[in-house]
Structure formats: C-alpha cells, structure tokens
C-alpha cells in the first residue's frame, strides 16, 4: 500500500540507496522496482554508445519546497519559455509563481517525490568544460544530446519507461526526465489533490496561496497524469 506520506515526498523509508556508477560519490534514492529497471536500460544505452548518468532521482517535499522558494526569492534562476534566465523581481507574487511552474513542480505535486522518476544525461556526450543545463535545447538536432534524444524515443518503452513532460500542456518540455511507468502509475492512483493542498497550505511563504490556486486547476499537468 502506498501511503499519503510517500506520495507527497514526506516518507522515504521504502526507497533504496543506489549509485548510477560505482566510481561516483553521489548516492541516490529511488523506488526499488524503478531502480532495478534502470539497469537494463543503462546497459542497452551503453551498448549503443551512451554513458547514462543521473542528475536527480528522488526529491523530498522539503527539497522541492526549497527549490521553489529559492526561485521565488531570486536565489535560483527562473527560465522563460525560450529557456533563458529571466528577471522576475518586478513581477507580482502571482506572476512569479506562473513563471516558476513552467519548469518546476509545486512541492507536493512533483513526480520526483515518488522515487520512480529520474533526470538523466549522457556524460560522454557532454562537451568538456560544459556545465549540464537540463534544457530542451541540449536535445535539439545539432546539439550534443540529440543522439541521446533519438535513442530514448526508440528505447524507453522497451524497458518500461516514458517521458511524462512532453510540453503539450502547461509544463515545459523535459526530454531528460524519464519515469518508470508501471510503478509511477501506482503512485498517481494514490495521489489525492486534497492531501497535497492541505499540506502545502500549512506553510506561510507568500507564494503558497498562489501555488495552491494554480495547483487546483493544473495538478494533472504538474504530476504528469
């Protein structure tokens, strides 16, 4: 049984620690079934010339809250529809929220809470000295992750994964975000809008009321349902 706390990223006790590469120091958290499914996908990717690494796996409610709060307060960049950093300092609190949610889920409404979703990239395709952006332009034809994009389009389904954020709704296109569909669907089935809204409403940050109003009508987009 999947609990409310697990769905909202408040309980990681059922997740497992793992590394995407024994040589890396980064220890990640993920759903056991999803992590197991990564192995065959990564092995096949390697056979096809891609050394897949994970930029982000499980993310708790509080981690997502800090990301959102930092963006609201100008401590992290906010990207516009063209994936360029924008100045939101002169915007109203409501407008700031509307800009942030393009590429950042509201805490309590992130698939990263499930442990079934991962942000990935091919380390061997990232140009030397280039910082990873996690932007769609990195996957466009002529860019360094384009071959990875083509591979993922053809391979993900075979290993039980999909890319939930296609850019066809209010959320931006995220070609780097993959989800282990079978287990993610179990979390989505256990998601309850009222639970997420109630927990988020217990915080007093100025952006919270606007995030709540947005989530009421866009929650399916946020969680990729």
* Residue with token string 């796996």: 57
Task: Identify the pLDDT of residue 215.
Answer: 96
pLDDT digits (tens, 9 = 90+) for 111-155: 999 999 999 999 999 999 999 999 999 999 999 999 999 999 999
State the pLDDT confidence band at 81, using cuts at 50, 70 and 90.
Answer: confident
- CATH code, 162: 3.30.1380.10
State the pTM of this model. Answer: 0.93
Number of domains in the chain: 1
Determine the structural domain holding residue 90 and report its residue range.
4-222
* Residue 37 or residue 224, greater confidence: 37
113 close to 9: Cβ distance less than 8 angstroms: yes
pLDDT digits (tens, 9 = 90+) for 25-46: 778 999 999 999 999 999 999 9
């Amino acid at each position: 049984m999947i609990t409310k706390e697990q769905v909202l990223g408040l309980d990681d006790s059922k997740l497992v620690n793992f590394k995407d590469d024994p040589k890396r120091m980064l220890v990640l958290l993920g759903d056991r079934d999803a992590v197991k499914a990564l192995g065959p996908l990564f092995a096949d990717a390697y056979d096809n010339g891609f050394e897949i690494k994970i930029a982000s796996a499980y993310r708790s409610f509080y981690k997502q809250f800090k990301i959102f709060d930092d963006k609201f307060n100008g401590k992290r960049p906010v990207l516009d529809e063209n994936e360029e950093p924008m100045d939101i300092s002169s915007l109203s609190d409501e407008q700031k929220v509307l800009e942030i949610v393009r590429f950042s889920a509201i805490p309590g409404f992130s698939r990263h809470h499930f442990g079934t979703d991962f942000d990935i990239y091919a380390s061997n395709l990232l140009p030397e000295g280039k910082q990873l952006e996690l932007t769609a332009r990195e996957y466009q034809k002529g860019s360094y992750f384009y071959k990875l994009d083509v591979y993922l389009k053809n391979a993900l389904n075979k290993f039980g994964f999909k890319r939930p954020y296609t850019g066809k709704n209010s959320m931006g296109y995220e070609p780097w975000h993959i989800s282990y569909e079978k287990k993610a669907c179990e979390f989505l089935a256990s998601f309850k809008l009222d639970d997420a809204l109630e927990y988020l409403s217990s915080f007093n940050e100025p952006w919270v009321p606007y995030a709540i109003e947005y989530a009421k009508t866009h929650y399916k987009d946020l969680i990729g349902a």
